Chains A and B, each alone.
Chain A
Amino acid sequence: MKPLRFPLALAPPLVRRLGLADIVILCLVGGVIATVVTFAREFEAPFHEAVRIDLRPAALPRYTLYSLTRGVLALLISYVFALSYGWAAAKSRAAERLLLPLLDILQSIPVLGFLPGLVLGLVALFPTRNVGLELAAILMIFTAQAWNLAFSFYNSLKSLPEPLSDACKVAGWPPRRTLWQLEVPAAAQGLVWNGMLSMAGGWFFLMVNEAFRLGDHDYRLPGIGSYMSVALDQGNVPAMALAVVAMTVMIVAVDQLVWRPLVVWVEKFRLDETAGGAPAASSWVLDFLRRARLPRRLAVWLRTARRVTRSFEGPLRAAGPVILRGPRVALASPITRTAAAVLVGAAIVAAAAGGLWQLVRLLAPLGWREWRDLAVSGALTFARVMGAVTLSTAWALPAGVAIGRSPRLAQTLQPVIQVVASFPAPMLFPIVVFLFERAGVGLGWGAVALMVLAGQWYVLFNVISAVAAIPEQLKDAATMFRLAPLARWRALYLPAAFPALVTGWVTAAGGAWNGSIVAEYIEAGGHLRMTRGLGSLISDATAHANFPLLAGGIALMSLIVVGWNRVVWRSLMTWAQTRFGLGT
């Protein structure tokens, strides 16, 4: 028998005393609970269209927490949506045929397209309480977060190696266990990275989501976005600056406290075992948490609790299938299956026809003049979007190559850029516009610059990661054969970055289209600046509750975005992949 080194009472890790980390965790949990409670009270508050926003600095932390809570709730809903939508699309070929194109369209609809329906519907549903408006705001944030998450989950389900799912089937795992122990872990990396992007995307329309005008109603919810818009209206420069600072603090805090630890943690769920060359990322928060004892104790308690509840699971499980088995038995025969498929198909066709009919009816009041106006505005904004994409490329391509070439630079700058990129550009728009006005540039041209702010980061990110992924040996070869700097660009960096650049363009153009809505129509310091374009047309239609025009504008914008994606970007992307893809 082996001699025991320590007295037993000291050794096991489970009985160590609580440390600093545990106290911090307790404080954090308490803070979260307190926030949720105050937020819930806000939910229950009697309904006011426009809450008075307190511009004193002391009120700002509370507003920031409100906005953050909305963003987090929306993200949680987005995850639930993404898991179910992605799962359905990946598992059923029939669903896939419907859901994928639908996702493409939903992705291209700017948030203002959902705004009137959500607000009017939910406010009507809860006429006396704030819940309706709050839910509308949360769902609007959701519409900016959900789609790429769903795509990401769908893609990772589709690319799951077959032997792994076979192994789970042979092991006799029920679908639910396969979902939580195989499919979600395998998708975890994509879900976390896309969650980061989604969160940033959700902030983009924060000002619109929290403070907007719909016809003669002025809706406002307490939050950092409405704080900013009130400060803008009053031309209160210190308050504006404070809001920008608060927003930055929030983004950095969320990045450090939530995303970085998550990113490091999900490394565990990589399917391919190659380390990827990059040094392992680290997160001080995660290291700190790993030192904490409380979670481990909690796990032990939970396990004990589970063991206790397990005895109740049997009867519950016996009761469940009775409800579930009915349809399953019914669907076993091919005749009922065909009948069900026909019914579902008919329902979808009917719903689509109904939707189209509604849209046509909504668009009917639009006369020839309005349509011409829409077309001209569309063309103007289209030109601005293309200009913004060109400008973004002009600076982000060289910068991205420079950063991607040097691993050290990439490592130090990446987190900084990430934070900067999550900052909602519309909050900076008024400042930029003000600078432009000083320089004598009108909003017609200025809007292009604002749209650059909305789209440039996607180009930069994609170029950096593509250049960083160039195999070391190719770079060595370029050095060995003494390629001159220009030749090196032409022969190596540009071709290698090109496929990623196209991907960047797709997203940047999407961001610019979205941005046009706030860039072409800016209210600040009590007066309105606008320039002709599809974005300002949509904003104006919302403000005047001109629903036919709004529907026309949104439909036109979605049509242009989806059409351009399908025709131009997609073929460009295929070409770039086959011609310049590094994977042979």
Chain B
Amino acid sequence: MTGNALLLDAQHVTQRFRLPNGQLLEALRDVSLTVREHEVVALVGPSGCGKSTLLRLFAGLARPAEGAVLYRGHPLEGVLGAAAMVFQSFALLPWFTVAQNVAMGLDARGVHSGAQRDAVARAINLVGLEGFEQAYPKELSGGMKQRVGFARALAVAPEILLMDEPFGSLDPLTAETLRSQVVDLWRDPATGVNTLVVVSHSVEEAVFLAGRIVVFGSNPGHVREELVNPLPYPRQERSPEFEAMVDRLHGILTATLLPEPVAAAPQRLVPFPRVHVSEVVGLLDHLLTRPGGKGAVFELAEDLGVDYDRMSAVVRGAEQLGWVTTPGEIVVLTPAGRELMAMDDAARKDATRARLSRQPLFARLIAMLKEEGTVDDEEALADLTIYFPFIPADSLFQTIIEWGRYAELLEHKPDVGRLALLASPEGAPELRPE
């Protein structure tokens, strides 16, 4: 497939956004990626890794801050006419009928009214929406709406179909049906679509659809690894080859999401993952029920019905507090974790308090509070922004408050916007930065 013509070429692309609070967020840093003719490329990775940003750059909806995006060797000027896009939220105009929505892109491509009617009918036919031409989007189910989204994209007979989590807001059953239909559409020469770029949240989906899977890492977004998926189409989801591929991708993702702890200076500040107390306790509880108190991250995610990157965030949280370890991609309950689960509520809070006081980020905040008595929210937020410029400080701060409150360690008054120390952290070694 490498011999095919180069369609899209992102060269050393960097993209930044300014958050409403003025913080500058780097969504992508120095990303290079090519898409060739007749490829299906899936972009996967944790949320906030910039995969959707890259898709928008390919579509020409945004310009990169640095680097360039080329289409067939020429830099993109405005929206890429050769591409159509399918959105996670469908993005249908509620005041347009199905047929009008499908015809949205035809005027700009100079299709005249007679030909427009044909193109609309053909596209509606391809996605199986005959009879719904005059319906309004609000009369349709989610799956039907996304069919309209696909029909709108197919109507312009695009060379490249860009899809931003196209099955993300559908129920699993509908998603599966539509997924295999997308593969059929791609394999069908009559549609004119020969290249797909899909942003996906699901490992199985990426393995099912893509010939090449690009794994992104976050903070800031960058390409971690590219994986070629040689399985022949149509793919059988229950086949051993398919499952082996899924496992391989899981392995890569886990390595991306749960980096081996660096044996660096212990004072190094690490952001605490934005997870709730109940989630971590729920994870430990679930691990207790498993033989040996262990399991692979993606298994745990499946069993608990949460998505993959949420699960790994919870695991990272539990790991930072010493309740699990993660050798390889397996999560193992530690003795401390078992002990915690055996405790009653009050004892559990005490243990959490002791653990939190040793977590470098909390330790730093406690030291600040001991010195000054109270800390204003703004001060704490500014501090977080300096240390973790790529993480939205507000939500990190909310997480700190939640854990601090749970452990009866911190007191926060939202009305005055001030933090104070509630208890002196027992058994905590005095950790003073500098």
Point out residues on A near B: beta carbons under 8 Å: 161, 163-164, 166-174, 177, 181-182, 185, 268-271, 273, 578-579
The answer to whether B170 has its CB under 8 Å from any CB of chain A is no
Check B91 against A163 for contact (C-beta < 8 Å): yes
Enumerate chain B residues within 8 angstroms of A271, measured Cβ to Cβ. Answer: 94
Complex-state Cα separation, A161 to B107, whole angstroms? 23
Complex-state Cα separation, A579 to B81, whole angstroms? 48
Check B61 against A170 for contact (C-beta < 8 Å): yes
Enumerate chain B residues within 8 angstroms of A181, measured Cβ to Cβ. Answer: 93, 96
- Which residues 20-64 of B have a CB within 8 angstroms of A? 56, 59, 61
A210–chain B nearest beta-carbon distance, Å: 39
Check B91 against A173 for contact (C-beta < 8 Å): no
Check B108 against A163 for contact (C-beta < 8 Å): no
Check B104 against A167 for contact (C-beta < 8 Å): yes
Closest chain A residue, CB of each to CB of B84:
A170
Contact of B87 among A163, A174, A268 (CB under 8 A): A163
Closest chain A residue, CB of each to CB of B149:
A167
Check A170 against B79 for contact (C-beta < 8 Å): yes
- Which residues 143-187 of B have a CB within 8 angstroms of A? 152, 156
Interface string of B314-335 (1 = CB under 8 A from A): 0000000000000000000000
Check A163 against B93 for contact (C-beta < 8 Å): no
Contact of A166 among B81, B91, B94, B95 (CB under 8 A): B91
Complex-state Cα separation, A270 to B137, whole angstroms? 12
Check A270 against B94 for contact (C-beta < 8 Å): yes
Q: What are 18 inter-chain pairs, A to B, with CB distance below 8 A? A: A164-B91, A166-B59, A166-B87, A166-B91, A167-B87, A170-B83, A170-B85, A171-B104, A172-B79, A172-B109, A173-B107, A173-B108, A181-B96, A182-B93, A185-B93, A268-B95, A269-B94, A579-B415
The answer to whether B256 has its CB under 8 Å from any CB of chain A is no
Complex-state Cα separation, A170 to B90, whole angstroms? 13
The answer to whether B105 has its CB under 8 Å from any CB of chain A is yes
Enumerate chain B residues within 8 angstroms of A177, measured Cβ to Cβ. Answer: 107
Check A164 against B56 for contact (C-beta < 8 Å): no
Closest chain B residue, CB of each to CB of A182:
B93
Closest chain B residue, CB of each to CB of A169:
B79
Enumerate chain B residues within 8 angstroms of A166, measured Cβ to Cβ. Answer: 56, 59, 61, 85, 87, 91
Closest chain A residue, CB of each to CB of B88:
A163
B127–chain A nearest beta-carbon distance, Å: 16
Contact of A164 among B83, B93, B108, B109 (CB under 8 A): B93
Contact of B61 among A161, A169, A269, A273 (CB under 8 A): A169
Enumerate chain A residues within 8 angstroms of B56, measured Cβ to Cβ. Answer: 166
Closest chain A residue, CB of each to CB of B92:
A167
Closest chain A residue, CB of each to CB of B136:
A268
The answer to whether B202 has its CB under 8 Å from any CB of chain A is no
- Which residues 101-145 of B have a CB within 8 angstroms of A? 104-105, 107-109, 137-138
Enumerate chain A residues within 8 angstroms of B93, measured Cβ to Cβ. Answer: 164, 167, 181-182, 185
Complex-state Cα separation, A52 to B152, whole angstroms? 64
- Which residues 72-91 of B have a CB within 8 angstroms of A? 79, 81, 83-85, 87-91
Check B89 against A163 for contact (C-beta < 8 Å): yes
Point out residues on B near A: beta carbons under 8 Å: 56, 59, 61, 79, 81, 83-85, 87-96, 104-105, 107-109, 137-138, 152, 156, 414-415
Enumerate chain B residues within 8 angstroms of A579, measured Cβ to Cβ. Answer: 415
A154–chain B nearest beta-carbon distance, Å: 17
B146–chain A nearest beta-carbon distance, Å: 12
Check B94 against A578 for contact (C-beta < 8 Å): no
Closest chain A residue, CB of each to CB of B139:
A273
- Indicate the member of A168, A578, A579 with the most B CB atoms within 10 Å: A168
Check A269 against B104 for contact (C-beta < 8 Å): no
Contact of B81 among A168, A172, A269 (CB under 8 A): A172
Complex-state Cα separation, A180 to B61, whole angstroms? 20
Enumerate chain B residues within 8 angstroms of A174, measured Cβ to Cβ. Answer: 108
Enumerate chain B residues within 8 angstroms of A185, measured Cβ to Cβ. Answer: 93, 95
Complex-state Cα separation, A86 to B197, whole angstroms? 36
Complex-state Cα separation, A171 to B138, whole angstroms? 21
B275–chain A nearest beta-carbon distance, Å: 18
Enumerate chain A residues within 8 angstroms of B81, measured Cβ to Cβ. Answer: 172
Check B85 against A578 for contact (C-beta < 8 Å): no
With A167-B104, A578-B414: A273-B138 Cβ-Cβ less than 8 Å: yes
Check B108 against A172 for contact (C-beta < 8 Å): yes
- Indicate the member of A166, A168, A270 with the most B CB atoms within 10 Å: A166
Check B94 against A170 for contact (C-beta < 8 Å): no
Enumerate chain A residues within 8 angstroms of B415, measured Cβ to Cβ. Answer: 579
Check A171 against B105 for contact (C-beta < 8 Å): yes
Enumerate chain A residues within 8 angstroms of B138, measured Cβ to Cβ. Answer: 273
B322–chain A nearest beta-carbon distance, Å: 32
Closest chain B residue, CB of each to CB of A268:
B95
Q: A167-B93, A167-B104 are in contact. List 15 more A-B contacts (CB 8 A).
A: A163-B88, A163-B91, A166-B61, A167-B87, A169-B61, A169-B79, A172-B79, A172-B108, A172-B109, A173-B108, A181-B93, A181-B96, A271-B94, A273-B94, A273-B138
Enumerate chain B residues within 8 angstroms of A578, measured Cβ to Cβ. Answer: 414
Complex-state Cα separation, A169 to B95, whole angstroms? 18
A50–chain B nearest beta-carbon distance, Å: 49
With A181-B93, A182-B93, A269-B95: A168-B104 Cβ-Cβ less than 8 Å: yes
Complex-state Cα separation, A192 to B63, whole angstroms? 36
Complex-state Cα separation, A409 to B83, whole angstroms? 54
Enumerate chain B residues within 8 angstroms of A273, measured Cβ to Cβ. Answer: 94, 137-138
With A168-B104, A172-B108: A161-B414 Cβ-Cβ less than 8 Å: no
Check A161 against B89 for contact (C-beta < 8 Å): yes
Check B89 against A171 for contact (C-beta < 8 Å): no
Enumerate chain A residues within 8 angstroms of B414, measured Cβ to Cβ. Answer: 578
- Indicate the member of B61, B88, B109 with the most A CB atoms within 10 Å: B61
Closest chain B residue, CB of each to CB of A167:
B91
Complex-state Cα separation, A268 to B100, whole angstroms? 15
